[in-house]
Structure formats: C-alpha cells, structure tokens
Amino acid sequence: MKVSVFLLGLLLFQLPITGNSQSNWAPVIAKVESNRRYWGENYAITIAAADSVLLQKDNKVFNAKTPMPIGAISQWLTATLLVKLAEEGKLSLDDPVAMYLPTFEKYFKGYITIRHCLSQGTGLEDKSGLRMAHRTKFISLEEEVEQLATRPIIAKPGELFLYGELGSKIAGRVAEVVCKKKFDLLIRTKVLMPLGMRRTSFTNLSGGPLDPAAGAVSTGEDLVRFLQVLLNKGQLPQRSFLTTDAMDQLIQLQFGTTQTQNAPLLFQHYGFALGAWGLGTPAEGAQTLVASSRTGSWIAIDFCRRYVYVAIIKEKLSEEKDMLHQEMLDIINIQLANNCAENPS
C-alpha cells in the first residue's frame, strides 16, 4: 500500500500543471462560450504559464495541433531569426541592408537598416497593410526584394511608422544572402527546429516566393512553445536559445505608443518592437507583446503576469470582432494580477 501511494504521488508530480489554484477561469471560459458565433466552431485557445498549460479550449476536429496560416504573426518569427543571426555575429541589426543588397544603394536607400525593416520603419511606401495572402508575379524572394528597392521613400527611416509587409521581406532576403541558404531552410534550422516547432513552416502553395512577412503555417501548440521560450527569457530546458542581450533586442520598443498613429485602430495604443506590437516603454522594453493575423488569430505574451495566450481561429474576424482578443486578455489579466506583485521585473 505504501508503495502504491508513493508511485501515485510520483505520477502526480510528473504531470504538467494544468491550472492555477489562485485563478478562476470561469470568466474566461464564459467569454469564449458567449462568443462562439464569432469564433465559429474552428478555434483553439490556449493560456499557458512558462512551463505548463493553464487552460485550453478546442475540439477534436480543430485543435491546438491543427496547422493554419498565421499571416502577419510570421513577422515575429522572422524577427527572431534575424536577432538570432545577430547574436551569432553574422550581422548587426543596425547594418544598412545595402551591405548585403547593393540594389538599395543603387536606388539611394543605403541608410535603411535591418532594424528599420523589422520595426516597420523603412520609410518606404507600403500599401500592403494587413492584407491576406495574395498572388504575386515574382518567382523568388530575391526578385521581389529587388523590386521593393525601387519603392518611393516617403519618410526618413526610423521616423515614421508604416505598418506593412515589405520590411520583413527585405530582412528575410538579407538573411538568405548572409547565410547563403534559402529562407525556409534557414528559419527551420535556426528557429523552428531548436524550439520544437515541428508543424511550423514557411510555404507558398500557390507558387512564387516564400513570404517572411505573412507566409508561415503553424499550430497553437507550436506557437505556445515559441512564446514560452520568450517568457523564460530565451532559455530552453537544457540550454540557451537566446542570450539576455538578444532577448533585450527582441522586446525593445522601436516605436512608442505615441508614434504608431498609422497602426490599425485596435493597436493604436500599442508601440512596436521587432515583429510584434508592444506595451511598455522604449527604455524598459515591452511588458506585453502581441501579434495578430487577419484570419483572426492572436498570440500574446505578458512578462509581468507570466502567461502566454494563443488563439488560432479559422474563420476571419472583422476588426471590430478582433477586439474580442483584447477583451480576453483583460479578463486573464485580472485572474493573474497577483503575478505582477510576485515578479516585479
């Protein structure tokens, strides 16, 4: 009998934590259920701590393992790749892109840096905004970025926030040139495989170039893994994925909340870091980071309250309905408010 009790205790110890004894998830569940007409039937919502799942809402047909296009959330993964390459000494985020892509010097745009590209601050005209997947006339990322170099400059780089796609595409092409590998292979070996994101890839089923700005397919489960590593300050269980300095680069706000008037309405009270929206100060870095897709998916990380939020939605939500995610975060914040007092950093 004593042995059985011991084994039972050992089994329970090894199971992942699936809840927080100080949290009441009923309001979160009620919010999900009351808005199912907006989510539709195909959604997977996960709330997780640094090492465990706190709450998961999905179904057997569509769940956290279901691959879905994640649109502009792809930019956060691309930014992570470039930060990783900078950590390895292969480039600096403040290098002019013309060091690697001479066409930009040819068209008098030699002062645009990799950092400008990842923070929506290139100053180049970009009318793509938040559009969904689209056909392209280009056959490679190289060819597409060559054309982007001809875009008109409408602001000094780093001074005007212009949300769109072209910055991440330019940064992705820089990575290809630096490492002499195609973008999909590069991000798989440098980011996706080390983080165990086995169901995530950058693909283009309709032909044409890979898209570092909006071309990823991923799952809720993989995105939780990605955010948990960031929540753990770049650390994996057995080794470091990003150094402290690299993590600081990734979460530093490049544009403050008063500088993003050109953002979509929902994000106009956010600043922008590298590849993600952020709340915080440029001096201290973002305390909350968020990325979203026009397909309706959202991912977020709260460093103070120590949780991540991943919502993969198949049906497209309007911008008005997109506010549901922010309302979800507000409810979660109430449940985990005590974490901020326990983790003042």
The whole-number pLDDT of residue 291 equals: 95
**pLDDT (0 to 100) of residue 1:** 38
- What does the alpha-carbon distance between residue 170 and residue 145 come to, in Å, rounded to a whole number? 6
Residues of the chain with pLDDT under 50: 1-17, 19-21, 130-135
* Residue 130 confidence (pLDDT): 45
Q: Could you give the C-alpha distances from 198 to 60, 67, 266, 299, in angstroms and in order?
A: 20, 11, 31, 18
- Of 71, 18, 24, 69, the C-alpha closest to 46 is 18
Q: Are 153 and 109 in contact (CB under 8 A)?
A: yes
**What pLDDT shows up at residue 102?**
96
Report the percent of the chain where pLDDT is more than 70: 87
Which fold would CATH assign to domain 18-342?
Beta-lactamase (3.40.710)
pLDDT value at residue 279: 92
pLDDT at position 203, please?
A: 82
The predicted pLDDT at position 216 comes to 95
Mean per-residue pLDDT of the chain: 87
CA distances from 185 to 79, 190, 331, 342 (A): 16, 9, 39, 41
Under 8 Å CB-to-CB from 100, ≥6 apart: which residues?
A: 91, 174, 177, 178
Residue 96, strand partner residues: 113
pTM of the model: 0.90
